[in-house]
Structures are given as C-alpha cells and as structure tokens.
Amino acid sequence: MGGTFQIDEAQFIEQARQFQLTDRTIAVVKNNAYNYGLEFAVKAFAISGIRAFATTSVDDAVKIRHMCGDKVDIILMNPTTDFKRARMFNLHITLPSRDYYDAYKDELHDIHIHLEYAGLFNRSGLSSIEELEYILNDMNESDLELNFTGLWTHFGYSDEFDGIYETERGMWEQFISDVLELGIKPSIIHAQNSASYVRDGLLDKHSHVRLGIGLYGSKPYADLDDTDFVQSSTLSAPIVQFRRLTAGMTLGYGAAFKADEDCTVAVVDIGYGDGVLRARAGHECEIGGKTYPIVALMMSHMVVLVDDDVEAHMSVYLYNKKLRIDKYTHLGVGANSEQLGALNYQSLGREIIYDV
C-alpha cells in the first residue's frame, strides 16, 4: 500500500511537443525533473523533439549525456569546479561572478561557458557590465582564450503583472546589448521561463527559451487556459480504514479535527512524509468522482471526511485532471515546482502508463 505518482507517457510527450519552441527549447530537468523522474523526462522530451537540457547537477548532466549521446546540449545552471567531467562529457558550464573567474580562470579553457547575469532576481550572476569588462581585460593581460558560448539569466518576476517584470526584462535586454558591444557573440542566449515565453514569445536577440513547468503540464500563472496545459500526472493513495466519530470526538495530533456531529472519516495511506504539503491539507481530495474535505494530515496518513458513497476499494486522489497542481498554486498551497519538488519519490510508488 501507499501513495502512487502516476504519469501518462503519451500525454506527457504531447504536452512537451505542443508547448516547446521547435529547435529552440532548453528543457529544465533539475531536481529529478520536477520529480517526474530524470530518465523518464529526458527520454520523453527527446521523443518530443527537444535537443537541449538544463540542470544544476553534474551527476545528472552526465546521466543525460549517457542517455542522449552527442546529439544534445547540456547546460549546468549551477557553477561547478568539476572541470574534468565538464570537458569529458562536453558540458556547458556557468560563469557566475568575477570571484569565480579569479579563482578558476586557468581551468576554464576548452569548455563551453555561459555568462550568467544576476539581474533583478539577484540570485547569482554578474551584477554589472563592469564585472565582465574586468574579466575581458584580465583575459587579455593573461593571454587567456575562453569560449563564451552562452549568455543567460533567470526571470524571477515573469508571473507578476504590476510592471516589475517589464523592469526586469529591460535590465536584461540592456545587458545583452552591452555584452554584444564588447564583441562577445554567444550562440546561445536564454532567459525565458514558461511564464515569459507565454507572455512574449521568443525575445529579440535570444536563441532559445528555457522552459520548466509548462513543459510538465502546469500553467505558469493562473490566467491561462487549462486546455493548453495537459497535466499527465496523478497522485493517489488507498484507504486504510474507516472510523465512525460521534459529535465532539477529536482526531489527530493536537486534536487536528473535531467532529461537529456524528460522522465517518476515511484514513488514507499518505502523509506529509510522502511530500504532501501541509497547506494542501486545507483543501479537498477526490474519491469516486466526488470531492471531500481533507481534515487532518499526519506523517504517514491523511484523514478525509466522507459519506456513505465512499467504499474501501476506492482510490483517493490529491492530484488529477480536475485537481490540478496549478489550481492549488493559485489557492496558495505553494508554487507548481514546490508541490512537485516536495514529493518523496523514495516512499511513493511510481507508475508510467505507456501507450501500447
């Protein structure tokens, strides 16, 4: 028994096929491909036509190379000092700062380098064009030749509609212009996540979009049509037992639920230890096509207030086509990636539905 994360392979591939920008999409597969599974997602994206991948892990990058051979570009969004494997497996690496350059400049030869811009998100990256000018001047004085293949940033505000995204985008576009004026001609310029791609299409001077959550079938922001984002996954769990409570009885840690009247609850074999966010328990689940309120969440169990229509053999769904991941993002449970990233793939079962 236990919870099961199920994926329909054909639907997953079709979503990736219809959402990508042909020949110009970098698929983000970090953190076990949003917990859809790295091997599954990379192979499915490759079938859909994607030929470039981005991750934060050298180990994952090497796995992708073994899966896909030399046919794809693989970009490391986190800086690395594993220069040996970067060369061996032809990985594209990130140069995030002047300090990183100073520390490792003599080891960066013969590697594809993507310059990162911090921008308004300010997580990592070069803060100004002056930092890049310093690097170029030092390269000239040190007689270094580095291969600046790429230029990138991350848009942290592309799902905001109060003007901040336009400011963020404008800063980045100015940085691109400044870089090009210095004589650097990167062949891969990428910044746009799913939200930015939906809003703007491919931005001027960009070679690629770098897509995450939209490829996986979740809307990057609420004001979009569900039919354009096919959620191929479900999360379900079996009922362990029913309990009959009389009015006033309590249940769960700290009396999480108190019965206002005589009622029946179903104890379900899934909990926050399996990665169900606590905030998700403030909403409904689905059993037999009807929705029922979740009234308590424990480490290994969930309790649902049910009626006589619910039978022991029925599966309890926390996510499916009706209970969409992005629906609960809009309701404040957590970002799409947060809900997916929390799932404990070591305790949950995983099933792939193949189109046979």
Burial (CB < 10 A; 0-12, 13-18, 19+), residue 114, is buried
Active site residues: 30, 253
The kind and range of the H/E element at 86 are helix 83-88
> Residue 74 is which amino acid?
I
**73-76/52-55 β-pairing:** parallel
Whether the Cβ atoms of residue 36 and residue 238 lie closer than 8 Å to each other: no
Contact partners, residue 32, CB within 8 Å, separation at least 6? 38, 345
The number of beta carbons lying within 10 Å of the beta carbon of residue 24 is 17
Give CA torsion, residues 76, 90, 144, 113, to 10 deg: -30
**290-297/284-287 β-pairing:** antiparallel
The kind and range of the H/E element at 98 are helix 98-104
